Structure 1
């Protein structure tokens, strides 16, 4: 699955290549959902377009939040 979206100029933009690995598509969907957390409307639309619900990605969101806590502790 490629993680791309359109910018305000209708140009395709790659938005997440940091954690490239083999795995379930749901983890990728959850990661993008997490990265879009600044706007719940965009999050909702993203999940609709991908054909998933928050319940589908919740187990992966839990992992992403734990990993993110660790990432942030390394920065400070």
Structure 2
């Protein structure tokens, strides 16, 4: 376990903190790639389900009409 250094100077002095220590706790949020991947997978599955439903409806409509000779 590493120990974090603490500035012992007056916090109001300009040399009390370095640029690295200011941003140590306030890091930028990282992108959640697993969430994005899950959303893409859900969209892909929804599109495929719609396509299958359309094909199924076309087959049922074709099977319901008697062949004309």
TM range (shorter): under 0.3
Higher gyration radius (CA)? 2
Which structure shows the higher strand fraction?
A: 1
Q: TM-score, normalised by structure 1?
A: 0.26
Q: TM-score, normalised by structure 2?
A: 0.28
Question: Relative contact order (alpha carbons < 8 A, sep ≥ 6): 1 or 2 greater?
Answer: 1
